[in-house]
Chain A
Amino acid sequence: MSTAVAPSPKNETKVKPLRQESRVGMFFVNAWLIFFAVISIVPMLWLVLAASKTDPELSSRNPLAFGSLKGYWNAWQNLQFFDNGVIGRWVLNSVLFNAAIVIIATITASLAGFVISAAKIRFKRTFLISTLIMMLIPPVALVIPLFVMMDKVKLVDNPWSVILISSLYPFGAFLSYIYYSTTIPPELYESARLDGCSDWQLYSRIALPLSGALLGLLAFFAFIGNWANYFMPYVMLYSGENYTLPLGLGFLFYSTPAINPGIGATSVPIYKPEIALAGILIALPIMIMFLVSQKRLIRGMLAGSIKE
């Protein structure tokens, strides 16, 4: 256990005698964890290998064989289908829209969760239930109303429509409510209030320092939920210069026989390896966001504070 993440010094001495406990059990635990990880990477592994091959090689060669490095280059070249750099624009749009969404969603949802768990306000249940309803309502039902609303405020085909709608993050608000209500006992707020802390201080001195893991999770899920979002941009945006990467590529890919062979004719060099390469490029930021956001997920951050 010496490699445990951030144990307090006290922990180490106590953990040692327990180490021998059931090696067989630990073996099975590890074996299962690794087995599951291997299954989980199969799709990505296939994508990485698929992008290295040519389209004919995909059906003729072993699915797990490597094509050539040149395969990646060819696929990349073919993805540059738009000479005037429109794909670059889509990437930029995706990055900007998502940055805005992640920031707004994470801040609003974490603050809401904190207030609901800490403040003595009425309609707490009403609030939580309406948040829950928002998570349960099928998105198709809201498409027309949202579109009509966005039209009224002249935001249709404007990135802000997608940003604002996607920033409503009931999943995050609820998660953050659970997080605060399980990690911070109300007594702590009470005693702080008696000590003369303002509400802002309750947040900045008590809740915020304990929010590392939560904010990491919230930001990550806000990102993963919106980065590849197709539906909302599809509904709201219809000018090429406003497309996000998944939307633009979606339009490009869905019109090719690689996805829908019934379309038959094509003069666009988009085949399976090109789509595979795009898939890797879309997934990459998710991996990076994961590594960034997971830095904060450490046990023991709160061990000290609750005792005080």
Chain B
Amino acid sequence: MAKVKKYKQRNILMKLMLAPYLFLLIAFGLIPLIMAVLEVPGESLTNPDGGWDAFKIVVQDFRFPQAVKNVLGFMAIYVPLTLVLVIVMALMLDVRHTKWSKYLRMAYIIPASVSGAVAVLVWWAILEPTISPIKSVLNAFGIESATQIWQTKNLVYIIAIMTFFTIAGNWILIQYGSLQSISSEIIEAARVDGCSAFQLAVRIKLPLIRKYVIYMAVLLFAGGLQIFVEPQLLTTSVYTGIANAWSFDQLSYELAFKSGDFGGASALSIILLIPSMIGALVVIFKTDMFDDKTIRNKQESEKADL
């Protein structure tokens, strides 16, 4: 009996440690989420009688099919590009640690440090052939005039590149950090066994940071689906309006704040949440995200090789 009691006391402490986060999660996460769902059937100009057909109305919005096309095209470029490049970069950084690697990582997060109105200015300047600091690169691609850039069909590429640069540095940092958590014994053992740097990266390190990679893939997917900031920046620049309601989240924003249709905006957000959730859950349950044993066993077996 004494033991059980002690165990229970333990758990109280654990729960106390969890409580602050849980409070924030429920108060500013789950409750507003439920309220957002209840918002859907509200009356608005686009849904004058109210009701749950807000979902149907939103899907039938004339901008919706275009947003589907835009966002899927964008994700097809952005998600694989970011996933692969970030992992490659992090593994490369981990090959050798010099005093410079810190500054390299710092350089990678610089694009993320430029935001808001300043980012509007910067991206506009970079993409404007006459004043661009990468003028020669643009010219090499045959781009001499602004009218060649600011066309609807190019937005998918422009936004993919913008988003990649704003997010890549952060993920490189995380994946580099995750590589630091691999115990050096494992690395040493592999080296002694004659692993080349490349083999070490692909066969030892990559499987060990698998959870982080899955986490990143899930968030890249969801983030891609919810792309908002970059097209919104473009649309507030000199070419005002060019990416209006370009993505789902922007459409949701337009519905809420330009058409006063919060029900529709909520409905669209919930529609968006579904593929993200399914994607996330499939990936997580199909892999060993919640199962600590596999990784541990692997670590154990690596250690046994020592």
Contact = CB atoms under 8 A, between A and B. Distances in A.
B104 A34 contact: yes
Interface residues of B, number: 116
Contacts of A121: 11, 14-15, 18
A286 B226 CA distance: 25
Contacts of B105: 290, 294
Contact of A170 (B29, B174, B181, B240): B29
Nearest to A141: B269
A21 interface: yes
Interface in B71-128: 89, 92-93, 95-99, 102-118, 120-123, 125-126
A4 to B, nearest CB: 5
**Interface residue SS majority, chain A:** helix
Given A40-B169, A145-B35, A283-B114, A224 B180 contact: no
**Interface residue SS majority, chain B:** helix
Interface in A18-66: 18, 21-22, 25-26, 29, 32-34, 36-47, 50, 58-59, 63-64
Task: Give the one of A129, A131, A145 with max B CB within 10 A.
Answer: A145
A15 interface: yes
Contacts of B218: 132
Nearest to A165: B28
Nearest to B109: A290
B203 interface: no
Nearest to B296: A185
A198 B109 contact: no
A299 interface: yes
B110 A40 contact: yes
A145 B39 contact: yes
A213 B117 contact: no
Contacts of A76: none
Contacts of A265: none
Nearest to B30: A130
A119 interface: yes
B10 A198 contact: yes
A58 B181 contact: no
Contact of B116 (A109, A115, A143, A250): A250
A279 B114 contact: yes
B114 A43 contact: yes
B294 to A, nearest CB: 11
B157 interface: no
Nearest to A1: B96
Contacts of A272: 121, 125
Interface residues of A, number: 135
Contacts of B265: 140-141
A223 B222 CA distance: 22
A129 B262 CA distance: 26
A25 B25 contact: no
Interface in A130-174: 130-138, 140-146, 148-149, 164-165, 167-171, 173-174
Nearest to B181: A183
B14 A276 contact: no
Task: Give the one of B116, B226, B248 with max A CB within 10 A.
Answer: B116
Q: Which 9 pairs, one residue from A and one from B, show the smallest C-beta to C-beta distance?
A: A279-B118, A141-B269, A145-B35, A112-B21, A145-B32, A37-B107, A253-B117, A228-B115, A283-B113
11 contacts: A42-B126, A43-B126, A111-B18, A121-B15, A142-B32, A164-B27, A182-B211, A185-B292, A217-B177, A259-B236, A286-B113
Interface of B: 10-11, 13-15, 17-18, 20-22, 24-25, 27-33, 35-36, 39, 89, 92-93, 95-99, 102-118, 120-123, 125-126, 130-135, 165, 169-170, 173-174, 176-185, 188, 191-192, 196-198, 208-209, 211-212, 215, 218-219, 222, 226, 228, 236-238, 240, 248-249, 252-253, 256, 262, 265-266, 269-270, 272-273, 276-277, 280-281, 284, 290, 292, 295-296, 299
Given A115-B14, A258-B121, A299-B97, 19 more contacts: A37-B107, A41-B110, A43-B123, A45-B133, A63-B132, A112-B22, A115-B18, A116-B18, A121-B11, A133-B29, A133-B273, A135-B222, A136-B276, A141-B265, A168-B29, A182-B211, A198-B13, A200-B13, A253-B116
